[in-house]
Amino acid sequence: MRGLARSLYFWVLVAVAAGALVGTLAPDAGVALKPLGDGFIRLIRMLVGPIVFCTIVLGIAHMRDLPRVGRVGIKALAYFEVLSTVALGVGMLVGNLVRPGDGFHVDPSRLDASAVAKYASAAHEQSISDFLLNIIPTTLPGALTSGELLQVLVAALLTGFGAAMVGERAQFFVSFIESASQVLFRIVSMVMWAAPIGAFGAMAFTLGKFGWHSLAPLARFMGVFYLTCALFVFVVLGLVARWSGFSLWRLVAYLRTEILTVIGTSSSESVLALLIDRLERLGCRRATVGLVVPTGYSFNLDGTCIYLSLAVLFLAQALDVSLSLGQQLTLLVVAMLSSKGAATVTGGGFITLAATLTVVPSVPVAALALILGIDRFMSEARAVTNLIGNAVATLVISRWEGEISATDLRRALAAGPDSANPV
């Protein structure tokens, strides 16, 4: 029992349960606890940019094999595209087979367009050129404070390549980044002990604000979405993990603290820094982790892809709109492109869904009002699926690169996060 009391996993679990209880029994008190969750997320986001920057710079500077860095990047992007397409396809297949929107018979004229006006407006404003320009930081230091992971990635890649090309003369700079990285990860380990407080506040707010009663009208859609995410994780990602020589169940157990934190905070970004550390401890090279994880947080959003395809079909079915195969394939292509910017804007998942709906005029963007009330609950499944998907992607690419053997990986996963040794 003493060992359990020292486990962060145990206290996050207790906090999530306590938050759910407070939010249910005392909704007003639960809503008032929102600053606890917001404060924890801010603490983590404060550290994400500098940690990703240091991780990538050190990985590339120490590797000094620039063609290998490019090879890892190309493999990662190819993997992301394949798995994102599969995720969209799984959502579309389940939506057509189960048809969760049948029987709603919603009258489009009764929809409250004002409730989703800001999402529709943002969807029109976020063009392809805006997205591309947004990944270029205005200044190098500004990339670390912008909160945009792709901007940090661009700045870190350029700095890492520059340090590698300078060679020995950059040793002082590399040593400074190394020291900064160690300090930042020590700060993360301290901040993570506030995770139970953040998870408690976030869960209490969610149930206090929306309540279990808000789930009832759309329980079927939520259930189908959660089951589809589970199907993708344990079947699709499970097969990918098995093909790469490790057990997905072991990986889920290894990341149990991170998964619970994501459930409590509804944000996969809350554990990004810790995920980087966990994967390095399994034996993945710093450069690989630094490239795959931050890029995956923008380009490998499996949970978001499932949500996009399933939500569009649900809304069409709820409005009694029949979508042809051609329209559905068009939606799949548009969702594939629009999902890449989902993490770069506030309310990204909902804005991306609004942008996807614009290609089907028969399904008005105002239909988003039907699922706006449950989006907070849906975001938990999206975030957990995205987290596990990016962890699997990093391990798969590390295995492709020969950084760790299947035997060593299985041994490290079986030992658990507290026993794994840093590389």
The CATH number for 316's domain is 1.10.3860.10
The answer to whether residue 423 scores a pLDDT higher than 70 is: no
How many independent structural domains does the chain possess?
1
Length of the chain, in residues: 423
Residue 39: how many CB atoms within 10 A of its CB? 14
CB atoms within 10 A of CB 222: 17
Residue 38 lies in a domain: yes
Domain interval for residue 265 = 2-415
For residues 298-322, average pLDDT:
88
The pTM (predicted TM-score) of the whole model is 0.83
What are the tens digits of pLDDT across the range 233-271? 999 999 999 999 999 999 999 999 889 888 888 777 788
Asked if the model's pLDDT at residue 422 lies above 50, the reply is no
On the question of pLDDT at 69 being above 80, the answer is no
The tokens of 330 are what? 């068009």
Picking from 1-15, 196-210, 244-258, 393-407, which range would have the lowest pLDDT averaged per residue? 1-15
Does residue 316 fall inside a structural domain?
A: yes
Q: Is 50 within the bounds of a domain?
A: yes
420 in any annotated domain? no
User: Across residues 367-382, what is the average pLDDT?
Assistant: 80
Find the mean pLDDT for residues 213-242.
Answer: 89
Predicted confidence at residue 388, as pLDDT, reads: 95
Give yes or no for residue 215 having a pLDDT over 90: no
User: By C-alpha distance, which of 278, 315, 295, 324 is closest to 386?
Assistant: 295
Q: Range with the lowest mean pLDDT among 189-198, 317-326, 352-361?
A: 352-361
Within-domain flag for 421: no
Dihedral of CA atoms 25, 31, 36, 38 in degrees, nearest 10, equals 140
Q: Provide mean pLDDT across the span 33-51.
A: 85
Residue 122 has pLDDT above 70, yes or no: no
Q: Which of 245, 242, 266, 418 is nearest to 349 (CA)?
A: 266
Q: Which two tokens stand for residue 135?
A: 């990944």
What phi-psi label fits residue 420: left (phi over 0), alpha (psi between -120 and 50 degrees) or beta? beta
d(CA 275, CA 394): 10
Residue 401 included in any domain: yes
Does a structural domain hold residue 423?
no
> DSSP letters of 36-81?
HHHHHHHHHHHHHHHHHHHHHHHHHHHH--HHHHHHHHHHHHHHHH
Angle at 314 between CA 309 and CA 316, to 5 degrees: 100
Mean pLDDT value across residues 1-26: 79
pLDDT on residue 384: 92
pLDDT value at 124 more than 60: no
Most confident among 225-229, 295-299, 410-414 (mean pLDDT): 225-229
Which tens digits make up the pLDDT trace of 164-192?
Answer: 888 788 888 889 988 998 898 888 888 88
pLDDT at res. 344: 43
pLDDT at 152: 83
The pLDDT value given to residue 351? 66
